[in-house]
């Protein structure tokens, strides 16, 4: 699957061939029919349904993810996205009439959503099916052809996605190409009409650079350090319950998980006691099906290195052989600690104490714009200020991560956490170009714009503008 520099040449030729075939297929206009798109979406769902047990097996191999977590966080969201898209596709794809300005009357104006063409979807390993197939639903719905490049860090799920797509769809329409950096670099040398990338901000920059020579339309779904603020007057018990569930889902390997907590100092003791009580109640373990292993040794070592033993308030133990790190709370954390210098992407919760809300906001502003931010508060003024003063991609008040499940909301980052968005109609738009059309009638042509330029004409023109 992975090519070394010696055998990357044949791989490059294969990629070129596949992309050329996809372009030719796209040019037949077959993907533009709504019936075709709906058929492909139905087919995708059928294939996934038929292969659920193999999908479970593969994700267990990569992450030790349970069937329950696989269904709730990967498979069911994909089905729901497919169903919602099929239900609405005709409406979304229909040209939209808009008003015409006075200057152009009589004529009609409308917007056509046209597919961008050939798309490349590069995905991450932490929710391997969700992050590959949900963008793919958007690409299919909008009428594109697609090459999907799953993460090499989750080899079993990458292999099954390749098998399911490549055995069931013609490669000039949909194709999964597996591989790591050399393969992705080879793919990025080609001219696609759309690149949809999910991954780290560091690699996001490489994607942006690679797309520049072709001026390819790019969506970047990246990560960051997501804050969760707990104010003095928050509904503490339910707030902590929700935050803990979000933080330790997938062992913290979630791009929208709360990365660190900012807690008002007067409730800190109570807050910490609640967090421990919730962690104990959940009894996180791979055997219980509510925890997973770290994806590989490199990430395991990286996350372990962020545990400052002097600051462990709870947990802090790990088992190298099984890449297990227990839910860990670090306290007395400041913005200068190592754990605050990078996205954690693991089951470690640093807790920073603040006095005034301005102090909390100032800390968030010192770090790059996060993908998500969360506020646990019942204070109207603070809620308003949080929404008005803090920039982040998406978020929730009195909950974490659940905004991701609402396909009526665009999902994406801002600044360092990404550009563009998807889910539901936003996915359709993400893989479409909005073609603007003015269709003029021919029965009349006012003489205003033509020579000779008189004062009388100018008077009318000024009015029309
Ligand atoms: P990553 O950036 O290392 O890898 C993502 C993809 O890029 C993979 O398919 C990988 O093969 C490819 N890649 C890696 N290095 C490359 C290079 N030098 N050149 C070309 N391609 C390269 O990210 P990851 O470790 O898979 O995922 C973790 C990161 O992704 C975190 O920052 C997390 O927050 C983010 N993430 C974001 C979302 C989102 O929806 N916004 C979802 C999941 C993960």
- Model pLDDT for residues 267-287, shown as the tens digit of each residue: 999 999 999 999 999 999 999
Torsion of Cα atoms, 277 then 279 then 285 then 290, to 10°: 120
DSSP element (H, E) containing 77: helix 76-93
Distance 159 CA to ligand 1 centre (A): 18
Cβ pair 391, 369 in contact under 8 A: yes
343 lines ligand 1 (CB under 6 A): yes
Q: Where are the domains of the chain?
A: 8-222+417-436, 227-412
Task: Give the Å distance between the CA of 42 and the centre of ligand 1.
Answer: 29
Q: With contact defined as beta carbons under 8 Å apart, do 256 and 394 qualify?
A: yes
Measured in Å, residue 83 CA sits from the centre of ligand 1 at 27
What residue owns the CA closest to ligand 1's atom 30? 199
Q: State how beta strands 260-264 and 227-230 pair.
A: parallel
Candidates 255, 278, 326, 400; catalytic one: 255
| Cβ partners under 8 Å of residue 291, min gap 6 | 248, 251, 284, 285, 324, 347
Ligand 1, atom 13: closest residue by C-alpha:
181
Å from CA of 400 to ligand 1 middle: 22
15 vs 148, 178, 208, 279, CA distance in Å? 12, 11, 20, 47
In ligand 1, the atom with minimum distance to the C-alpha of 221 is 41
Contacts for 461 with CB less than 8 Å, ≥ 6 apart: 448, 449
In angstroms, the CA 319 to CA 56 distance is 24
For the chain, residues with pLDDT lower than 70 are: 1-6
221 CB within 6 A, ligand 1: yes
Homologous superfamily assigned to 8-222+417-436: Aldehyde Dehydrogenase; Chain A, domain 1 (3.40.605.10)
233: tokens are 């007057």
Ligand 1 site, residue 73, Cβ cutoff 6 A? no
221 labelled catalytic: yes
Q: Give me ligand 1 centre to Cα 325, in Å.
A: 21
Say which DSSP state 449 is in.
T
255 is catalytic: yes
Q: What is the torsion angle, in degrees rounded to the nearest 10, for the CA atoms of residue 260, residue 262, residue 267 and residue 269? A: 40
| Mutational pocket test of ligand 1: of 157, 186, 199, 297, the residue with most ligand atoms within 8 Å of the beta carbon | 199
The number of the ligand 1 atom at minimal distance from the alpha carbon of 207 is 20
**Three-state secondary structure of 276-321:** HHHHHHHCCCCCCCCCCCCCCHHHHHHHHCCCCHHHEEECCCEECC
Does the beta carbon of 371 sit less than 6 angstroms from any atom of ligand 1?
Answer: yes
What radius of gyration, in Å, describes the C-alpha atoms of the chain?
Answer: 25
The answer to whether 309 touches 300, Cβ cutoff 8 Å, is: no
Taking the CA atoms of 253, 306, 331 and 289 in sequence, report the sign of the dihedral they define: positive
| H or E, element range at 257 | none
Q: Distance, CA 223 to ligand 1 centroid (Å)?
A: 9
Instruction: Please tell me the residue having the least CA distance from ligand 1 atom 40.
Output: 221
CA atoms lying within 13 Å on the CB side of residue 133: 30
Taking CA atoms only, the protein residue closest to ligand 1 atom 22 is 181
Q: Is 122 in the pocket of ligand 1 (CB under 6 A)?
A: yes
pLDDT given at position 81: 98
Give the atom of ligand 1 at the shortest distance from the alpha carbon of 371.
41
- How far, in Å, from the CA of 307 to the mean position of ligand 1? 23
Look at residue 144 in the predicted model and tell me its pLDDT.
98
Please tell me what DSSP assigns to residue 339: G
User: By C-alpha distance, which of 410, 377, 421, 401 is closest to 257?
Assistant: 401
Q: How far apart are CA 158 and CA 149, in angstroms?
A: 8
Q: What is the pLDDT at residue 322?
A: 96
Using CA atoms of 251, 256, 259, 265 in order, give the dihedral in degrees to the nearest 10: -120
For domain 227-412, the question of CATH label 3.40.50.280 is answered with: no
Q: Which of 221, 278, 343, 353 is catalytic?
A: 221
pLDDT tens-digit readout, 149-189 = 999 999 999 999 999 999 999 999 999 999 999 999 999 99
Matching residue, tokens 């075939």: 21
* 400: three-class secondary structure by DSSP: coil
**What is residue 36's predicted lDDT score, i.e. its pLDDT?**
98
Q: What is the pLDDT of residue 7?
A: 76
* Partners of 122 in the β-ladder: 149, 197
Q: Which atom of ligand 1 is nearest the CA belonging to 179?
A: 11
């Amino acid at each position: 699957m992975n090519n070394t520099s010696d055998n990357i040449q044949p791989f490059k030729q294969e990629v070129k061939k596949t992309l050329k075939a996809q372009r030719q297929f796209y040019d037949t206009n077959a993907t533009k029919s709504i019936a075709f798109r709906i058929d492909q979406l139905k087919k995708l769902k059928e294939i996934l349904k038929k292969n659920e047990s193999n999908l479970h097996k593969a994700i267990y191999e990569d992450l030790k993810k349970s069937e329950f977590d696989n269904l709730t966080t990967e498979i069911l969201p994909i089905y729901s996205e497919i169903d919602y898209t099929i239900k609405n596709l005709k409406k979304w794809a229909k040209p939209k009439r808009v008003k015409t300005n006075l200057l152009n009357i009589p004529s009609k104006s409308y917007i056509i959503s046209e597919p961008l063409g050939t798309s490349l979807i590069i995905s991450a390993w932490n929710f391997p099916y969700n992050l590959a197939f949900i963008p793919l639903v958007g690409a299919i719905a909008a009428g594109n052809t697609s090459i999907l490049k799953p993460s090499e860090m989750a080899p079993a799920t990458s292999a099954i996605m390749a098998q399911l797509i490549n055995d069931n769809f013609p490669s000039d329409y949909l194709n999964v190409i597996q591989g790591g950096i050399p393969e992705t670099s080879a793919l990025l040398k080609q001219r696609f009409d759309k690149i949809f990338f999910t991954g780290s901000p560091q690699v996001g920059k490489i994607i942006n650079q690679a797309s520049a020579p072709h001026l390819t339309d790019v969506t970047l779904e990246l990560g960051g350090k997501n804050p969760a603020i707990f104010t003095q007057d928050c509904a503490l018990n339910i707030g902590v319950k929700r935050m803990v569930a979000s933080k330790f889902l997938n062992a913290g390997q979630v791009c929208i998980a709360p990365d660190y907590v900012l807690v008002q100092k007067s409730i800190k003791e109570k807050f910490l006691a609640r967090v421990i009580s919730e962690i104990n109640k959940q009894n996180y373990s791979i055997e219980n099906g509510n925890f997973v292993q770290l994806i590989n040794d490199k990430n395991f070592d990286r996350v372990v290195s962020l545990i400052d033993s002097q600051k462990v308030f709870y947990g802090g133990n790990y088992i190298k052989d099984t890449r297990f790190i227990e839910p860990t709370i670090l306290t007395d954390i400041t913005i200068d600690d190592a754990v605050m210098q990078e996205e954690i992407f693991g089951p470690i919760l640093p807790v920073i104490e603040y006095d005034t809300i301005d102090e909390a906001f100032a800390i968030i502003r010192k770090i790059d714009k996060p993908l998500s931010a969360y506020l646990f508060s019942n204070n109207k003024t603070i809620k308003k200020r949080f929404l008005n003063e803090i920039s982040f991609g998406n978020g929730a008040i009195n909950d974490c991560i659940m905004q991701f499940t609402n396909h009526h909301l665009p999902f994406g980052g801002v600044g360092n956490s990404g550009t563009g968005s998807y889910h539901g109609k936003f996915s359709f738009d993400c893989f479409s170009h909005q073609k603007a059309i003015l269709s003029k009638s021919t029965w009349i042509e006012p003489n205003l714009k033509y020579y000779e330029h008189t004062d009388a004409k100018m008077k009318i023109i000024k009015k029309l503008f």
